Amino acid sequence: MTSTSTPPGLTRFNALEEHAAYTALREACASTAWAKRLLAARPYATCEDLYAESDAAMAELTAADLDEAMAGHPPIGRPMPGDPTSAREQSGMAGASDALKAEMLELNLAYQEKFGHVFLICATGRTGEQMRDAVRERIGNPPEREREIVRTELGKINRIRLARLVEED
């Protein structure tokens, strides 16, 4: 954003009472460490400052912090009931065939068996086939490589969720 004025949504976020801001951040990312770091850095002058702080916090999450963050994400193809965020983010699976949904379930289970956590991908804008292809490709990764891919994907998801929080009126 090149404007010198702070977007109304960011102004509102900066002005939130601490507990309300913390709750909003935890809805964006389930990691306590990430949310606390972003909370401590308020107020933000620009959305880019907020996103940069999110990226920096994501880069420093421990393995346990990443596990906590991932625990807030449902498997691809099975958004949390009543959660419009996960339904919107996984909308690429909404129109998928029963065969594709069944294949994603199998792949999710195989991935979780191998890595011990859900398959995590920034699903926004991806088709069911693209997500299936990604899990097929990534299931062959060594665990250390996969953790770093998960960290990157979480960072993308967090930016999208933060943008919805601070850029919408």
Q: What is the DSSP string of the chain?
A: ---SSPPHHHHHHHHS-HHHHHHHHHHH---HHHHHHHHHTPPPSSHHHHHHHHHHHHHT--HHHHHHHHTTSPPTT-PPTT-HHHHHHTHHHHT--HHHHHHHHHHHHHHHHHHSS------TT--HHHHHHHHHHHTTS-HHHHHHHHHHHHHHHHHHHHHHHHH--
pLDDT at 26 over 90: yes
Tokens 């086939």 appear where?
129
Q: Look up the domain containing 86 and give its range.
A: 8-167
Under the banding of pLDDT at 50, 70 and 90, the label for residue 2 is very low
pLDDT at 29 over 60: yes
Lowest mean pLDDT of 4-8, 35-39, 85-89, name the range. 85-89
Residue 145's CATH number: 1.10.3330.10
pLDDT reported for residue 93: 78
Q: What's the mean pLDDT when you consider all of the chain? A: 90
Tokens 């509102």 appear where?
12
pLDDT in tens, 39-86: 999 999 999 999 999 999 999 999 999 999 998 887 777 766 767 776
pLDDT reported for residue 159: 96
Q: Would residue 152 count as lying in a domain? A: yes
Q: Would residue 163 count as lying in a domain? A: yes
pLDDT reported for residue 94: 79
pLDDT reported for residue 79: 63
Distance of CA 138 to the CA centre of its chain: 18
Catalytic residue of the set 73, 126, 132, 138: 73
CA dist., res. 108 & res. 135, Å (int): 8
Q: Closest Cα partner for 85 from 69, 74, 96, 97?
A: 74
CB neighbours of residue 164 within 10 Å: 13
Structural domain count of the chain: 1
73 is a catalytic site residue: yes
pLDDT at 92 over 80: no
Q: Would residue 2 count as lying in a domain? A: no
pLDDT at 134 over 60: yes
pLDDT at 34 over 70: yes
Distance of CA 120 to the CA centre of its chain: 8
pLDDT at 24 over 80: yes
For residue 154 the two structure tokens come to 């979480």
Q: Would residue 1 count as lying in a domain? A: no
Under the banding of pLDDT at 50, 70 and 90, the label for residue 1 is very low
